[in-house]
Structure 1
Amino acid sequence: MRASTDTTIPARKKYGYLLFLLPPALPVLAVQLAGRLGHWNLFAFLVPAVVFGLIPVVDFLIGKDAHNPDATEEVQLRADRFYTTLLVLCLPVQLACVGYGGYVVTHAPLSMLGKLGWTLSIGLVSGVIAINTGHELIHRRSRALQAVGGLLLSTVGYASFKVEHVLGHHVHVATPKDNSTAREGETVYAFAARALARNIPHAFALERAAAQRKGLPHGPLSSELARYYAVTFAFFVGALVAFGPAGGAFFLGQGVIAILLLEIVNYVEHYGLSRRVINDRGTYEVTTPLHSWNSNYFVTNLLLFQLQRHSDHHANAARPYQVLRHMEGSPQLPAGYATMVVIALCPPLFHGLMSRKLRDHRLAHASG
């Protein structure tokens, strides 16, 4: 469908970002429906049904948004605290959602399959509310906002992302040094295994190196990562105390689902893209919008605080979500993230689709 250039889009977008409340509302809706209609084990899967079934259809029907704010709009958008307030609200929403999830999984009449479906559902919500929002916040200059991002990531046990993403991924993206850039032909399963095995220890190494450069002490008591993982442990103990072993297992499970969702999205975002070496010292060209896959589907960009405008994000990491721009010439995904996540799980289908996109992209920029 054609991208919209309607000048009313900025006004629509402002309150459209309240769509972030949809994922955490779905588990509540699922319980209400199951309470009235029965079929608890079926409604336990409501979140993945909506995220991977309904949202792609709505994306297709509503279409794309290529509108970029002009200079005046950008100043206004940056000054409006509404956009940051939404991000901060995600912390109490996330805590409530995980707590609610722990209560339901231990009190509702769910079979083992239903419990797995419920854990999957809450894990997907955490992927959106905790990790996606945490990602936006850890790029902010405010230490307080960065801390909120760290706490959000702690609810899924992935505080290492706070350090590795900023000091590792954004520095080395689209190079062999980056564990979060998928190589052409690599499956999502091989990629996720590689990223998870390497990124967590790499985060601690990056934190230690940063402390050494600043001449600061580094140890368990001074480690930011250690503090955030202590918070995760406290959440886990809280789940055990409140809901027993099943609650603890649920807390760990929803975190694993959220982390896996992140890594699948990471896989899609930079698949097969690479920066050129520009001199004999092995220096890579500067990161540009050409080194991230972009997507302009309007609804999903509202839902994810414009994460899909990933090309501009990597070219301008400090730019807040409300002023991220569509970048002409950046590689474009054939569908929104929800669709691409499902396709990525089928490597032959994903590779067949993306090999053509990569070929076209390289031909278009062969002289670059």
Structure 2
Amino acid sequence: MKSLKFLTVFSLPISVYFSFNMNGWYTFLPLFLFFGIVPILEFLFKPTPENFNKEQEQIEKENKMYTYILYLTVPVQLYFLYLFFYAIQEPHLTTFELIGRLFGMGLMSGTLGINVGHELGHRNNRFDQFLGEILLLSSINTHFLPYHNAGHHFNVATPKDAATARKSEIIYSFWIRSHFTSYKQAWQLENKRLKLSGRSWFHYQNRMVIYTLLNIILLSSIFYFFGTFVLICFVIASIIGILLLESVNYIEHYGLLRKQSESGRYEKVKRTHSWNSDHVIGKLMLFNLSRHSDHHYNGSKHYQILKSLPESPQMPTGYPGMVILALVPPLWFSVMHTKLKEQ
């Protein structure tokens, strides 16, 4: 039964359903839920740093229900993408209402598409990885997997990592640097992998080649069946989802760096190299992504058994609240530079 608490994430698609089928302010219900109600609730509920004991951890590790909940997000994401294509073409839809629905789909793409795609992309079986690729394709962010697994996890908390925010770097410039640099490095990593195996970069085993073709097919299909307006709206919603991802990247490692030896080698990744959050609602809505320190310590560990440890630097609130804080750079620097001095 412990696994069922993660069904909380489906409050987001429920709110998006209302957004797609109602008008006026109701179209902004998903945005209000994620960045209004959730941050308030996280101030009301105390963080929960408790972990499973060894026996419980083994039981929950083998509990398939946690994985089935992830699987359920795939048809939900695809169904809502289909609904979105029609919801934005509703007659007499105002610009205000259109913006609300764009943000609703964008939150779906960032939370279910990219976040769950990230979790499934770390699994060691091809079926789970394939579902993760479908979710990432629904947000046209497929380059995430090659870069994240082989680049970000290897270079995290170093200047080499596109997804590690430097101290005093504002979130708006980070969005651009992180996204485009990670895309470039995804190509470099795949090209290097193919070269080491004696193959040309232009090979069907180069995931970036396949992902690029799939992105072109997806965008062309949307244009063919739904037209230019729907295609533009889909791209905008995907960008919103990608910016949500990059905002999360920004807060997860902000200002944290691994020590470098005289030879130039960096120390091993520790649980001190990621910001952690044990705020209840954020953990449930994002499948324990906020226990990010343990995730980087062991990237293959399933989300339900991620631990909170005292040496991990702690965020003052959960992810949604931290993203809001990051959008106001002077306030962000004031809070986080004080936290950095404590580390």
In the superposition, the TM-score normalised over structure 2's length comes to 0.96
Structure 1 residues 220 and 41, CA gap change in structure 2 (3 angstroms)? farther
Structure 1 residues 242 and 63, CA gap change in structure 2 (3 angstroms)? farther
Match in the other structure for 1:208? 191
Shift, 1:226, TM fit: 2.4
- Asked if the contact 1:26–1:46 (Cα under 8 Å) also holds between the matched residues in 2, the reply is yes
2:10 alignment partner, one of 14, 17, 21: 21
The separation in 2 between residues aligned to 1:356 and 1:107, in whole angstroms, is 49
Between 54-63 and 202-211, the greater mean CA deviation after superposition:
54-63
- Asked if the contact 1:41–1:110 (Cα under 8 Å) also holds between the matched residues in 2, the reply is no
Match in the other structure for 1:133? 116
| Aligned positions of 1:1-368 closer than 5 A | 11=1, 13-32=2-21, 34=22, 40-219=23-202, 221-278=204-261, 280-361=262-343
Shift, 1:29, TM fit: 2.0
- Asked if the contact 1:30–1:44 (Cα under 8 Å) also holds between the matched residues in 2, the reply is yes
Shift, 1:243, TM fit: 2.7
The separation in 2 between residues aligned to 1:213 and 1:186, in whole angstroms, is 35
Q: Secondary structure at the match of 1:218?
A: coil
The separation in 2 between residues aligned to 1:229 and 1:84, in whole angstroms, is 28
- Asked if the contact 2:20–2:101 (Cα under 8 Å) also holds between the matched residues in 1, the reply is no
The separation in 2 between residues aligned to 1:27 and 1:98, in whole angstroms, is 11
- AA partner of residue 298 (structure 1): V
- AA partner of residue 9 (structure 2): F
| Deviations, residues 197-240 of structure 1 (Å, cap 9, x unaligned) | 21111101101111222334431533212222333333323332
The separation in 2 between residues aligned to 1:108 and 1:84, in whole angstroms, is 40
The separation in 1 between residues aligned to 2:217 and 2:40, in whole angstroms, is 40
The separation in 2 between residues aligned to 1:353 and 1:344, in whole angstroms, is 10
Q: Secondary structure at the match of 2:204?
A: coil
- Asked if the contact 1:44–1:118 (Cα under 8 Å) also holds between the matched residues in 2, the reply is yes
Shift, 1:91, TM fit: 1.3
Structure 1 residues 303 and 184, CA gap change in structure 2 (3 angstroms)? same
Match in the other structure for 1:365? none
The separation in 1 between residues aligned to 2:300 and 2:104, in whole angstroms, is 31
Shift, 1:97, TM fit: 1.1
- Asked if the contact 1:134–1:148 (Cα under 8 Å) also holds between the matched residues in 2, the reply is yes
| Deviations, residues 148-200 of structure 1 (Å, cap 9, x unaligned) | 11111111111111110011100000001111100100000111111122111
The separation in 1 between residues aligned to 2:201 and 2:127, in whole angstroms, is 21
In the superposition, the TM-score normalised over structure 1's length comes to 0.90
Shift, 1:108, TM fit: 5.0
The separation in 1 between residues aligned to 2:111 and 2:145, in whole angstroms, is 16
Count of paired positions: 343
The separation in 1 between residues aligned to 2:37 and 2:217, in whole angstroms, is 36
- AA partner of residue 352 (structure 1): S
Between 61-70 and 304-313, the greater mean CA deviation after superposition:
61-70
Shift, 1:116, TM fit: 2.0
Q: Secondary structure at the match of 2:263?
A: coil
| Deviations, residues 19-77 of structure 1 (Å, cap 9, x unaligned) | 12111111212344x2xxxxx24222111111000011122223211111111111111
Q: Which runs of 5+ in 2 are unaligned?
A: none
The separation in 2 between residues aligned to 1:252 and 1:127, in whole angstroms, is 13
When the two chains are superposed, the root-mean-square deviation of aligned CA atoms in Å is 1.4
Between 169-178 and 219-228, the greater mean CA deviation after superposition:
219-228
- Asked if the contact 2:19–2:100 (Cα under 8 Å) also holds between the matched residues in 1, the reply is no
The separation in 2 between residues aligned to 1:305 and 1:120, in whole angstroms, is 21
Match in the other structure for 1:5? none
Between 41-50 and 153-162, the greater mean CA deviation after superposition:
41-50
The separation in 2 between residues aligned to 1:69 and 1:216, in whole angstroms, is 45
- Asked if the contact 1:208–1:218 (Cα under 8 Å) also holds between the matched residues in 2, the reply is yes
- Asked if the contact 1:155–1:232 (Cα under 8 Å) also holds between the matched residues in 2, the reply is no
**Aligned sequence identity (%):** 35
- Asked if the contact 2:19–2:104 (Cα under 8 Å) also holds between the matched residues in 1, the reply is no
The separation in 2 between residues aligned to 1:116 and 1:225, in whole angstroms, is 31
| Deviations, residues 77-116 of structure 1 (Å, cap 9, x unaligned) | 1111111111122111111111111110112532123212
Structure 1 residues 174 and 237, CA gap change in structure 2 (3 angstroms)? same
The separation in 1 between residues aligned to 2:12 and 2:229, in whole angstroms, is 23
The separation in 2 between residues aligned to 1:54 and 1:239, in whole angstroms, is 34
